[in-house]
Amino acid sequence: MQKKALYVIIFLLVSLAFWIYRTSNIEYENTILILQQNHQYTNTIIISPSNSTCRNPLHILIIVTSYVGHIELRSAHRQAMPSDYLASKNASRIFLLAKIPSVERYITQAAIEDESKAFGDILQGSFYENYRNLTYKHLMGLQWASSKCSNTAFILKVDDDTVFNFDKTVDYLLSIPTQDQFIMGYILNNTLPRRNSNNKWFVTREEYPRQKYPAYLSGWFYIVNPKTAEIICSEAPYHPYFWIDDILVTGILTEYLNIKLQQLPSGFWLEYYELVECCIRDMVEKNIQCQYVVGPNGGRHNLLVEFNNAYRNCKTSCSRSDQQNIKDTCIMKRDRTIFSDGMAEVNKIVL
């Protein structure tokens, strides 16, 4: 009798444990589902680009991530690649801005509205300018481009301080066969989260618990088709916000979606602005063609204009042999690697 009672008690305890496991697991799954759907990445649009931006089917829509106060940089883009020039390439361009932060004293919303009326190329979101809000800006641009300009073949995403040659970009994209899913840029592999709290890009383990980031693309310059951009934007609300935009948008989300990152040719990239300057000197002074397409401006706002002007003037009259690689012939001293944190320099100054 005692043995039978013991069996009954054991059975009841096992049944109770199983019931607790099942109900708690259901609640946990439902909670995760609710959390997944609760990540808000969309924001109200304050200023929209002109309706004519995507009126006709485009080959390329350029979306430029720009700080609201970078009026000179936006002016450089417009001067280097005017709207009529872009139209001749079956292309268009918009600038991605956020709200003016309270610390900004040199720009007003009225000035941004005037800029928008003059050029019709501003897309401004309702979030404030901050490097921790770049993910909002990045996704805002992709969402607008993939929904309002779904008839474009490619979306070219660049930063406003990126120097690039659009002629050679167009020529390269014309050579690419149509693909269902497509995203291409400079792939960064095996990048580690910065765990030093003094680093600007410090990331806590709560923000990102993994040991290293997935492969992702540099936000300097990458190309995506509207369908892939739409898939990425649709997936974003199911993932926690991560403020390093390039890593979330082109790394975490593409990894989850199993979207293959494609590498641009190695001949596209110049790591340092000094190499861009060498390219310009070669074209202007020696009639030697620059074979590279993309590089940083090094804080020189007009370098984009100089680079594109030199290329156009040199396009039909310049050449470069295989032995004239700018990375071998340009005299400069740089020990840092591409996209690194850089190194401090201490120089003696005679007073």
pLDDT digits (tens, 9 = 90+) for 187-238: 999 999 999 999 988 999 999 999 999 999 999 999 999 999 999 999 999 9
Which among 110, 143, 100, 122 has a CA at the least distance from the CA of 53?
Answer: 122
Which among 69, 85, 140 has a CA at the least distance from the CA of 308?
Answer: 85
Q: How far apart are CA 197 and CA 26, in angstroms?
A: 38
Residue 4 has a pLDDT of: 60
Residue 319 has a pLDDT of: 80
Which among 237, 257, 261 has a CA at the least distance from the CA of 136?
Answer: 237
Tell me which residues of the chain have a pLDDT lower than 70. Answer: 1-40, 322-324, 326-329, 331-351
Classified as helix, coil or strand, 294 is strand
Q: How far apart are CA 122 and CA 255, in angstroms?
A: 31
Domains of the chain: 45-264 (3.90.550.50), 267-329 (no CATH)
Which among 138, 148, 140, 116 has a CA at the least distance from the CA of 43?
Answer: 140
- Tokens standing for 22? 């099942």
Beta bridge partners of 158: 64, 221
Q: Is the pTM of this model over 0.85?
A: no
Q: How far apart are CA 104 and CA 69, in angstroms?
A: 8
Residue 242 has a pLDDT of: 95
Residue 290 has a pLDDT of: 86
Residue 331 has a pLDDT of: 63
Beta bridge partners of 155: 61, 224
Residue 53 has a pLDDT of: 92
